[in-house]
Amino acid sequence: MRKEPHLGRQLEDYLVHFPKVKIVRARRREGLIRARLLGASVAKAPILTYLDSHCECAQGWLEPLLQRIANNWTTVVCPVIDVIDDETFEYHFRESGEVNVGGFDWNLQFSWHAMPEREMKRRNHTWEPVWSPTMAGGLFSINKKFFERLGTYDSGFDIWGGENLELSFKVS
């Protein structure tokens, strides 16, 4: 049991109201990537959704991701990332036409880039998916069998940074 009250009994009591949610506790500190792998190993649903603890979701955010995977089980889907100002808590909605794509530099550091002209021309509507060569690692959905077929994450990774590129390269 956790020493912090909000991560122990208080959390368990709260989650009684959500029977589909299960707390999985590692016996020792495993780090982010092995914790994600532990969650995937016990997940019973056909779709895995990873969402880092600092993320907040708007109503209806999940359904479009699940629909894309239902259309093609080898699709990995990332939601549009809106921003909440860290000082004012003002919500900044991002129009679907203003979406960036993922990239990386020679040090393999993930970075955001403007959507290429060819991608803008490929899409007939701003609400259509944006193809991105890489993805951020903290929020995405993937078919569990596809994730396993790709070889999941490298269990040698401890913390964030690189796992998103590894998965992006496997998907490509």
What torsion do the CA atoms of 15, 60, 134, 132 make, to the nearest 10 degrees?
Answer: 170
pLDDT tens profile 145-157: 999 999 999 988 8
pLDDT tens profile 129-142: 889 999 988 899 99
Structure-block tokens of residue 131: 């193809």
- Environment class of 40 (CB within 10 Å of its CB; exposed 0-12, middle 13-18, buried 19+): middle
Distance CA 93, CA 151 (A): 35
pLDDT tens profile 61-92: 999 999 999 999 999 999 887 778 889 988 88
Instruction: Give the CA angle between residues 155, 54, 161 to the nearest 5°.
Output: 35
pLDDT score of 73: 98
Q: What is the mean pLDDT of residues 30-42?
A: 94
Is residue 2 over pLDDT 70? no
pLDDT score of 38: 96
Nearest to 78 by CA among 53, 61, 97, 59: 61
Express as a percent the part of the chain with pLDDT over 90: 59
pLDDT score of 63: 96
Express as a percent the part of the chain with pLDDT over 70: 97
Q: How many CB atoms lie under 10 A from the CB of residue 168? A: 19
Is residue 56 over pLDDT 90? no
Is residue 1 over pLDDT 60? no
